Structure 1
């Protein structure tokens, strides 16, 4: 007996709304024509990856930063219209962004 069956036993009259059962897979992040710049730096001896050059809305860029951090399983931040990811993940970030439809340019190294 799984969780859904147990909940049906406890709440037999409850109906699950359609909106909750179907997750929204459409992404509303604005895609730009100019490439996003993917840089590598070391700050205080630790490697970081910086994404710069996004010309869309700041909220979309923040959403993109959150998606990247959760997919990579690393920390990072959004400062001065740049995404800062802890570690050297240039190749993986570029693959993820290309899958989403962005054009990405590797800067340096």
Structure 2
């Protein structure tokens, strides 16, 4: 009965706390930007892609905000103005509210 072990913390995968620790240490910046033809975009930047699955987080944000979006590099772009809502959702996912800055 061999269990999968996390290569970072050495605990079994179901007890791994690496992602929780990584969430608390992120310095996240949420800002609004204006793109082509006056379209507004909310950009979530500063999340380390090595520690947290950006595609999974973007899918969560897009489904709860009912908007489109994409992952570009190490940032998440969401269509529309959602700065304050994104902060609330990130806090509900376990990110530290002190580390999230809304511009």
Structure 2-normalised TM-score?
0.69
Do structure 1's residue 43 and structure 2's residue 60 form an aligned pair?
no
Q: Give the secondary-structure state (helix, strand or coil) at the position aligned to 1:97.
A: helix
Please, which runs of 5 or more residues in structure 2 have no aligned partner?
1-16
Q: Which of the two has higher C-alpha Rg?
A: 1
Distance (Å, rounded) in 2 between the aligned partners of 1:29 and 1:80: 22
Q: Quickly say closer, same or farther: Cα 1:58–1:46, change in 2 above 3 A.
A: farther
The total of aligned residue pairs comes to 80
Distance (Å, rounded) in 2 between the aligned partners of 1:65 and 1:92: 14
Q: Give the secondary-structure state (helix, strand or coil) at the position aligned to 1:65.
A: helix
C-alpha RMSD over aligned residues: 2.0
Structure 1-normalised TM-score?
0.66
Q: Could you say which residue in structure 2 is the equivalent of 1:105?
A: 101
Please, which runs of 5 or more residues in structure 1 have no aligned partner?
1-27
Does the CA-based 8 Å contact 1:29-1:60 persist in structure 2? no
Distance (Å, rounded) in 2 between the aligned partners of 1:50 and 1:102: 16
